[in-house]
Each structure stands twice: as structure tokens, then as C-alpha cells.
């Protein structure tokens, strides 16, 4: 109870974070309550194609196949959030473990991992993703895994820096003198005390994952069997002059969601900054 109160107070103390959190709550509500908000199945090809927005049955219009844009937006939220969560989870997990090992163990492990991070940071992620998707197919699962596998280096860099400074702290030395082995020190002392910057970075990573999925869809490499905002923009591209609404609403949804995640990330960064006092306990 005390913890929840403390978290609530921390969220309230930062306006960006508060706005971001409210936004995320709305998104989550949409994800859960999708069937209640809209009467159409987004995948249903309706009889009325290219209805302009403002129609009583289709407030945001329909696309060239007669799908309801509003329903597509709502169901697209599911796809986007799933991509965001799964991809950034993979990325955070990899980043924390790899970065933690590099920073804590040091020596040759650190040298190899640091070089690997540099290599990954040098390669343009989009091309790497394009290559892999082209090779292994573009199912949504593949896309999520690929995004996760290519975006861990920034997390690893953060975690490595944390581990480097944490391993000199007295409580780590004390654990060592107590007889903890190195694996336990990494898991019980370094990682729990060093994850916060990674957590903050991960929310920004989620925004990037959504954007990347949208980019892939826009390039025609998205999963054609799911509804996604990127897919909507891709589909609407050719009707841009005659039916602007197909692409426009998807684009707006992407922008708004990115904004929400960036605000949360910035707010978290601000609140979890050690200079900001003892937050996050």
C-alpha cells in the first residue's frame, strides 16, 4: 500500500510523466476494451468502400476494401502495443544481461562486448531488420523478435556504465567479502540497483519499436495478416489524393502514441535521476 502511494506521488510530481502515464492508461484501455468501443470487426471487408469520414455508420470513413477506419485504428493499437512491449522486453533483457556482464566482469568479456555494441550501433538498424525480414519472412512474431534483437545495444551501453560504477560501491565489495559468487552479485546486487536508467530508456525504445514496425509495414514488409497503423498508411498511400483519411488517421495514431511514450520516458528519466532524490524505492 505504502509503495503504491509512493509511486503515485512520484508520478504526480512530474507533469510529463503524469501525462505519459495517463496516455498509456488510455492506450491500455483501448487494447482491452477494443470490441466494446467499435461495432465492426476491423478485418471485415464491408460493402461500402471509400466512405468519407463523417458518415453516421463509419465516423472515420472506410478504406478501399470497405474496412472501417475507426475499428482498424482501435485494433491497430493492439498490434502496436504488442510489438512495443515484446520487442522492448527482448531488448531490455538482452541489454541488461549483456551490459551487466560487460560492466561487472570487465576484462576480455568487456572488450568483446563493447566492440560488438559498437558494431551494432554502426549498422543502420532498419537495413538489418529489412534484411532479416526478407530472409525469414514477415510474420508479426518475426518482426518483434528482430526489432528486439537489433535494439539492445543502447540498453547494454547504459547497463554497462551502471555496472562499472556499481561494482566499486561498498555493498558490492561487502557482498563479495560475504562469500557471494560472481553470478549472484550480478543478479542480486548489480542488476537490481542499476536497471532504472534501462527502464526509462525502454519506454523510449517502445516508441522506436512502434515506429520501426510502422516503417516496415509502410515499406510493404509488414505482416499482411494483422491490422497495424503502418499497414494503414501503406494501404492509403495510393489513395492519398482521393481518400486522404485512409492514411491520415493511422499516421496521427502513430504520432500520438510516440508522443505518449516519449513523454513517459522523459518523465521517468527525470524522476529516476539520482540527483532527483530517492525516487523509485
Partner 1 sequence: MSEQKKKAYIDIQDVSVFYPVKGGKLFAQGEKPIVKAVNGISLQMEKGEVLGLIGESGCGKSTLGRILVRLEEPTRGDVLIDGVSTHELIRKDPKKFRRMVQIVFQNPFDTFTPRDTIEKIMMRPLKIHNIGKDDQERHKMCVESLEAGGLRPAEDILRRYPHELSGGQLQRISILRSMLLNPTFIIADEPVSMLDVSVRADIINMLLELSREKNASVVFISHDIALTRYISDRIAVMYLGRIVEYGTADQVVKNPQHPYTQALISNCASIDPDEESAAIDIQGEPPTPINPGPGCFFAERCPHATQECLKKYPEYRDLGDGHIAACMHIGK
Binding site for partner 1 (CB under 8 A): 169-171, 173-180, 188-189, 192-193, 278, 281
Nearer to partner 1 by C-beta: 103 or 222? 103
Instruction: Calculate helix-pair angle for 140-166, 196-218, nearest 10 degrees.
Output: 150
Nearer to partner 1 by C-beta: 137 or 192? 192
Q: What is the smallest separation between the CB atom of 175 and partner 1, expressed in angstroms? A: 7
Q: What is the smallest separation between the CB atom of 109 and partner 1, expressed in angstroms? A: 18
In angstroms, rounded to a whole number, what is the distance separating the alpha carbons of residues 217 and 234?
A: 7
Q: Which long-range contacts (CB under 8 A, 24 or more apart) does 65-69 make?
A: 67/40, 67/42, 67/43, 68/38, 68/40, 68/42, 68/44, 69/232, 69/245, 69/246, 69/249
Q: Which residues pair with 62 in a beta bridge?
A: 68
Whose CA is closest to 125, among 152, 159, 160, 98? Answer: 152
Please answer whether residues 100 and 190 qualify as being in contact, where contact means their C-beta atoms are separated by less than 8 angstroms. Answer: yes
Please answer whether residues 71 and 41 qualify as being in contact, where contact means their C-beta atoms are separated by less than 8 angstroms. Answer: yes
Q: What is the smallest separation between the CB atom of 72 and partner 1, expressed in angstroms? A: 44
- H-run or E-run covering 253: helix 245-272
In angstroms, rounded to a whole number, what is the distance separating the alpha carbons of residues 20 and 120?
A: 30
Nearer to partner 1 by C-beta: 65 or 178? 178
Nearer to partner 1 by C-beta: 132 or 268? 268
Nearer to partner 1 by C-beta: 53 or 280? 280
Q: What is the smallest separation between the CB atom of 266 and partner 1, expressed in angstroms? A: 24
In angstroms, rounded to a whole number, what is the distance separating the alpha carbons of residues 193 and 155?
A: 15
Q: What is the smallest separation between the CB atom of 101 and partner 1, expressed in angstroms? A: 19
Nearer to partner 1 by C-beta: 180 or 266? 180
Nearer to partner 1 by C-beta: 194 or 267? 194
Q: What is the smallest separation between the CB atom of 168 and partner 1, expressed in angstroms? A: 10
Please answer whether residues 272 and 197 qualify as being in contact, where contact means their C-beta atoms are separated by less than 8 angstroms. Answer: yes
Q: What is the smallest separation between the CB atom of 110 and partner 1, expressed in angstroms? A: 15
Amino acid at each position: 500500500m505504502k509503495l503504491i502511494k509512493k509511486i503515485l506521488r512520484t508520478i504526480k510530481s512530474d507533469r510529463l510523466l503524469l501525462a505519459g502515464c495517463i496516455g498509456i492508461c488510455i492506450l491500455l484501455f483501448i487494447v482491452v476494451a477494443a470490441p466494446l468501443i467499435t461495432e465492426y470487426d476491423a478485418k471485415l471487408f464491408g460493402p461500402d468502400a471509400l466512405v468519407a469520414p463523417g458518415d453516421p455508420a463509419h465516423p472515420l470513413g472506410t478504406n478501399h476494401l470497405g474496412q472501417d477506419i475507426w475499428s482498424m485504428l482501435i485494433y491497430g493499437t493492439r498490434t502496436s502495443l504488442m510489438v512495443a512491449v515484446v520487442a522492448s522486453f527482448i531488448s531490455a533483457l538482452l541489454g541488461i544481461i549483456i551490459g551487466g556482464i560487460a560492466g561487472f566482469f570487465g576484462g576480455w568479456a568487456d572488450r568483446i562486448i563493447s566492440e560488438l555494441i559498437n558494431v551494432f550501433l554502426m549498422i543502420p538498424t532498419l537495413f538489418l531488420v529489412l534484411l532479416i525480414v526478407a530472409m525469414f519472412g514477415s510474420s508479426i512474431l518475426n518482426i518483434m523478435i528482430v526489432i528486439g534483437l537489433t535494439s539492445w545495444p543502447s540498453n547494454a551501453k547504459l547497463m554497462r556504465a551502471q555496472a562499472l560504477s556499481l561494482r566499486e560501491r561498498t555493498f558490492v565489495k561487502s557482498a563479495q567479502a560475504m562469500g557471494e559468487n560472481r553470478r549472484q552479485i550480478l543478479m542480486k546486487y548489480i542488476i537490481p540497483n542499476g536497471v532504472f536508467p534501462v527502464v526509462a530508456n525502454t519506454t523510449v525504445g517502445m516508441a522506436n519499436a512502434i515506429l520501426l514496425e510502422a516503417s516496415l509495414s509502410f515499406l510493404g514488409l509488414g505482416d499482411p495478416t494483422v491490422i497495424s497503423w503502418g499497414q494503414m498508411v501503406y494501404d492509403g498511400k495510393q489513395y492519398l489524393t482521393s481518400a486522404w483519411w485512409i492514411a491520415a488517421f493511422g499516421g496521427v495514431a502513430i504520432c500520438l502514441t510516440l508522443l505518449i511514450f516519449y513523454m513517459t520516458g522523459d518523465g521517468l528519466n527525470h524522476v529516476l535521476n539520482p540527483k532527483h532524490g530517492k525516487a523509485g524505492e
